[in-house]
DNA sequence: TTTTGAGTTGTTCGA
DNA sequence: GTCGAACAACTCAAA
């Protein structure tokens, strides 16, 4: 007698290795129906850049599953309706998935779980997307941590990160025809008119294989100098480049953790970045509104300007501050921005333009291939000063000295702001200071082919400090 | 309960 | 050019 099938519902865990839910489904001995449902994520539509990534990631997963003998079934619609109906159609006995931690997904998963349980189905949610569950590490007074350093120390002290699970050699896949199932191409995830993703193909190889290659190449040298090199804007190899792979679960943090420690002597600084990802999930899990409400309610009094013209100039990389503009254009062209530049660009939006951090969070959500509900929300709040363990409010990045420090040759600016390509490095981060003849020789016309600064740094800084002060009175 | 030390990534000013 | 202090005050975590 054949066992009733099990459903493995893939979400942001698009891999076959180190996948506790998939392993459990296989180990149950049942034929496994591998399912992906096209649906909103974290309570809102996916960003455009994320959709591009998702398309390629699904292709990669489909091929990895095929090699194991399993078909990837793709549906579109409301999982709350679809899953119980599939369970009934194929007479499934169990459903497995990897746990999610953002408020809306938790609610949805709970509802589905309860419906299925009422129908007598085995439902199992598994860990796998984090090193530790967000409720696991507690302070001495039994609360969750709100400061990163003691949190991460406690994690390291707790130790015991189990070995990654090997990829399955074969899967007894449920490979019949599922009503309503679609080929990946029919999901329409790729941009067509216009195709803005032309610049994505070069830098990225979505999928597990690409993720592991990237990690291997990073560990083969660059991790040694991560501490300083990660800050050099033009040096793409100075960072791991794993963020989108982690965001889609093509590689697990546990795999990153072990591979890093096994292949490098110097890993503390890099792994602490994995720690920030974990910490962001702790904050999100305990504060489901992290992406939409100030973590510190004192910030609710802050008076934003929210000038739409300035917001648009920021989005398009037309602020007149070359380092900021380079970052925003790199984001638009490749779906990614260097971490150092993210901080400067975010600080500029919030503190120089006095635009609510949520507008920045939304733009990044739409344009980043690594858009993640926890990291994105926690990081924007960190820059704004409204978050947990946040940057103090008087810390306002200087958009041109940051450029001079972390792009000293102007290489990064030249690459992403080509109209400044002929500027000598002395003035490339502050063209408004350049003498007229220098501008003429470089072919730069301020207010013509490159904008004048939309705000003046010193005045903007003082205004921001004043607003913060006023918001506290 | 109270105390103590500390807290991702910076800037500016003046000596 | 380099260096240290001020920028503010608060909250967190542990002793």
Residues A244-259: what's their mean pLDDT? 98
Distance A322 CA to B15 C1' (A): 33
A380 as an active site residue: the answer is: yes
Local confidence band at A390 (pLDDT 50, 70, 90 cut-offs): confident
Contacts of A194 (CB under 8 A, 6+ apart): none
Tell me which architecture the domain covering A130-162+207-286 has in CATH. Alpha Horseshoe (1.25)
Q: Percent of chain A scored above 90 by pLDDT?
A: 95
Nucleotide nearest to A152 (CA to C1'): B8
pLDDT of residue A372: 98
pLDDT of residue A128: 98
pLDDT of residue A73: 98
Active-site residue, selected from the candidate residues A52, A97, A332, A357: A357
Nucleotide nearest to A277 (CA to C1'): B8
Residue for token pair 């380092």 = A323
Number of helices (H), then strands (E), belonging to chain A: the values are 20, 5
On the CB side of A172, CA atoms within 13 Å amount to: 13
Distance A361 CA to C12 C1' (A): 26
Distance A65 CA to C7 C1' (A): 57
Q: What is the pLDDT of residues A119-177, one digit of tens each?
A: 999 999 999 999 999 999 999 999 999 999 999 999 999 988 999 999 999 999 999 99
Residues A465, A394: contact at Cβ < 8 Å? Answer: yes
Which of chain B's bases lie under 7 Å from a protein CB?
6-12
Q: Which residue is nearest to nucleotide B9 (CA to C1')?
A: A340
Residues A32-37: what's their mean pLDDT? 98
What average pLDDT does chain A have?
96
Q: Percent of chain A scored above 70 by pLDDT?
A: 100
Contacts of A66 (CB under 8 A, 6+ apart): A72
Local confidence band at A81 (pLDDT 50, 70, 90 cut-offs): very high
Domain locations in chain A as residue ranges:
6-128, 130-162+207-286, 297-468
Token pair, residue A178, equals 């599922």
pLDDT of residue A177: 95
A304 as an active site residue: the answer is: yes
Active-site residue, selected from the candidate residues A276, A404, A456, A463: A276
Ramachandran class of A91: left when φ > 0, alpha when ψ lies in -120 to 50, beta otherwise: left
pLDDT of residue A258: 98
Instruction: State the SS3 of A192-234.
Output: CCCCHHHHCCCCCCCCHHHHHHHHHHHHCCHHHHHHHHCCCCC
Q: What is the pLDDT of residues A50-63, one digit of tens each?
A: 999 999 999 999 99
Token pair, residue A439, equals 């501008």
Distance A390 CA to C11 C1' (A): 11
Strand partners, A138: A144
- Phi, psi of A388, deg, nearest 5: -75, 135
Instruction: Identify the three-state secondary structure at position A36.
Output: strand
pLDDT of residue A133: 97
Token pair, residue A424, equals 């000598």
Token pair, residue A260, equals 């890093």
A276 as an active site residue: the answer is: yes
Q: Which residue is nearest to nucleotide C10 (CA to C1')?
A: A392
On the CB side of A256, CA atoms within 13 Å amount to: 32
- Strand B: list protein residues with Cβ under 7 Å: A 147-149, 231, 273, 276, 339-340, 343, 379, 382, 389, 391, 394-398, 401-402, 405, 457-458, 461
pLDDT of residue A221: 86
Residues A1-5: what's their mean pLDDT? 80
pLDDT of residue A339: 96
Nucleotide nearest to A383 (CA to C1'): B9
Dmax over CA atoms of chain A, in Å, equals 86
Residues A357-361: what's their mean pLDDT? 97
Distance A78 CA to B6 C1' (A): 48
pLDDT of residue A391: 84
State the burial class of residue A286 (Cβ atoms within 10 Å of its Cβ: 0-12, 13-18, 19+): middle
- Phi, psi of A114, deg, nearest 5: -70, -40
Q: Is the model's pLDDT at A320 over the cut of 80?
A: yes
Residues A71, A65: contact at Cβ < 8 Å? Answer: yes
Distance A155 CA to C13 C1' (A): 15
C-alpha span between A434 and A423 (Å, rounded) = 9
Q: What is the pLDDT of residues A406-423, one digit of tens each?
A: 999 999 999 999 999 999
Which of chain C's bases lie under 7 Å from a protein CB?
7-9, 11-15
Q: Is the model's pLDDT at A325 over the cut of 60?
A: yes
Torsion of CA A83, A42, A71, A131, to 10 degrees: -110
Distance A379 CA to B3 C1' (A): 32
Q: Is the model's pLDDT at A1 over the cut of 70?
A: no
Tell me which architecture the domain covering A6-128 has in CATH. 3-Layer(aba) Sandwich (3.40)
The residue among A270, A268, A282, A473 whose CA lies nearest residue A388 is A282
Contacts of A135 (CB under 8 A, 6+ apart): A144, A285
Q: What is the pLDDT of residues A327-355, one digit of tens each?
A: 999 999 999 999 999 999 999 999 999 99
Q: Is the model's pLDDT at A26 over the cut of 70?
A: yes
Nucleotide nearest to A154 (CA to C1'): C13
Strand partners, A8: A34, A96
Distance A276 CA to B6 C1' (A): 18
Domain A297-468 has CATH 1.10.579.10: yes
Local confidence band at A393 (pLDDT 50, 70, 90 cut-offs): confident
- Strand C: list protein residues with Cβ under 7 Å: A 139-141, 143, 145-147, 150-151, 154, 392-394, 465, 469
Nucleotide nearest to A342 (CA to C1'): B9
Active-site residue, selected from the candidate residues A273, A404, A411, A463: A273
């Amino acid at each position: 007698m054949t066992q009733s099938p099990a459903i493995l519902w893939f979400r942001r865990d698009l891999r076959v290795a180190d996948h506790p839910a998939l392993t459990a489904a296989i180990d149950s001995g049942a034929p496994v129906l591998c399912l992906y449902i096209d649906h909103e994520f974290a309570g809102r539509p996916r960003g455009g850049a994320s959709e591009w990534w998702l398309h390629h990631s699904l292709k990669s997963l489909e091929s990895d599953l095929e090699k194991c003998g399993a078909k990837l079934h793709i549906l579109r619609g409301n999982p709350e309706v679809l899953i119980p109906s599939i369970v009934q159609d194929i007479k499934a006995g169990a459903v497995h998935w990897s746990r999610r931690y953002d408020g809306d997904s938790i609610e949805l998963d709970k509802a589905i779980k309860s419906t299925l349980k009422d129908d007598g189905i085995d439902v199992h949610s598994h860990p796998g997307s984090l090193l530790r569950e967000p409720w696991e590490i507690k302070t001495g007074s039994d609360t969750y941590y709100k400061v990163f350093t003691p949190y991460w120390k406690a994690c390291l002290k707790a130790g015991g990160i189990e070995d990654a699970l090997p990829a399955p050699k074969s899967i007894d896949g449920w490979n019949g025809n599922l009503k309503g199932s679609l080929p990946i191409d029919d999901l329409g995830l790729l941009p067509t008119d216009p195709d803005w993703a032309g610049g994505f193909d070069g830098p990225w190889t979505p999928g597990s294989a690409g993720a592991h290659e990237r990690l291997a190449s990073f560990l083969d040298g660059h991790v040694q100098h991560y501490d300083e090199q990660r800050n050099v804007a033009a040096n793409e190899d100075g960072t791991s480049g794993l963020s989108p792979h982690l965001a889609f679960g093509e590689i697990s943090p546990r795999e990153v953790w072990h591979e890093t420690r096994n292949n490098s002597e110097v890993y503390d600084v890099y792994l602490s970045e994995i720690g920030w990802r974990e910490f962001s999930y702790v904050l999100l899990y305990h504060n489901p509104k992290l992406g939409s409400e100030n973590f510190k309610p004192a910030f609710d009094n802050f008076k934003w300007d929210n000038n739409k013209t300035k917001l648009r100039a920021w989005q398009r990389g037309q602020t007149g501050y070359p380092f900021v503009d380079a970052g925003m254009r790199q984001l638009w062209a490749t779906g990614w921005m260097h971490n150092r530049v993210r901080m400067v660009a975010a600080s500029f939006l919030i503190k120089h333009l006095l635009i609510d951090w949520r507008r920045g969070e939304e733009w990044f959500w739409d344009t980043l291939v690594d858009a993640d509900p926890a990291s994105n929300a926690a990081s924007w709040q960190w820059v704004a000063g409204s978050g947990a363990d946040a940057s103090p409010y008087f810390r306002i990045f200087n958009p041109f000295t940051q450029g001079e420090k972390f792009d000293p040759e102007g290489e990064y600016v030249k690459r992403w702001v080509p109209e400044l390509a002929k500027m000598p490095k002395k003035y490339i981060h502050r063209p408004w200071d350049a003498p007229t003849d220098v501008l003429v020789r470089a072919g730069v016309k301020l207010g013509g082919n490159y904008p004048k600064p939309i705000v003046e740094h010193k005045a903007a800084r003082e205004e921001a400090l004043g607003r913060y002060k006023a918001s506290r009175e």
